[in-house]
């Protein structure tokens, strides 16, 4: 019973902190040298919790008081697909990975070196991820298919 109460308290505290700091869509907040971010699943029943610098991604069940560790890596950011079936995450600011919402079938879509990913987002149909690569002083915008990894250059400076 203590674990469930503890999980409720942690989730409640994280949601409150996110509200307090106006976190929207996995915005980072810094607490005593650690980074944390939250993102709701579209159905409102689960939250994805990211904590750095160790890069843990944990799926939290709101009604079930459950927690499932999905990834421990050098994760930098997380995004849940609009349909809620996929989770994308970046590693070291230059890799994009995708997995199923249950943590299965982890797949690297992109490794961009020496470039860095400066922004990214899911397409509304959850089939592609658009991202911006920074190459020196120039920007390139791509869309990558979340299943095949096929990328398409959309814009280049």
The 10s digit of each residue's pLDDT in 78-111 is 899 999 999 998 887 788 999 999 999 999 999 9
Residue 11: domain span: 2-156
Q: Report how many domains make up the chain.
A: 1
Average confidence (pLDDT) over 128-148: 92
Residue located via tokens 């809620």: 84
Cβ distance 27 to 12 under 8 Å? no
> The domain that contains 122 carries what CATH number?
2.120.10.30
pTM, 2 dp? 0.74
pLDDT at position 31? 43
pLDDT at position 10? 52
User: Which pLDDT tens digit goes with each residue over 2-59?
Assistant: 444 454 455 454 544 444 444 434 344 444 445 778 899 999 999 998 886 677 889 9
């Amino acid at each position: 019973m203590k674990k469930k109460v503890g999980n409720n308290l942690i989730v409640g505290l994280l949601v409150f902190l996110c509200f307090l700091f106006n976190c929207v869509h996995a915005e980072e907040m810094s607490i005593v040298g650690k980074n944390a971010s939250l993102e709701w699943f579209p159905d409102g029943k689960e939250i994805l919790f990211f904590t750095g610098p160790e890069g843990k991604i944990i799926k939290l069940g709101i009604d079930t008081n459950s927690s499932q560790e999905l990834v421990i890596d050098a994760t930098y950011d997380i995004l849940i697909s609009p349909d809620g079936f996929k989770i994308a995450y970046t590693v070291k600011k230059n890799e994009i990975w995708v997995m199923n919402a249950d943590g299965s079938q982890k797949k690297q879509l992109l490794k961009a070196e020496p470039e860095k990913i400066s922004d990214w987002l899911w397409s509304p149909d959850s089939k592609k991820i658009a991202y911006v690569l920074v190459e020196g002083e120039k920007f390139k915008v791509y869309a990558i298919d979340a299943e095949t990894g096929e990328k398409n250059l959309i814009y280049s400076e």
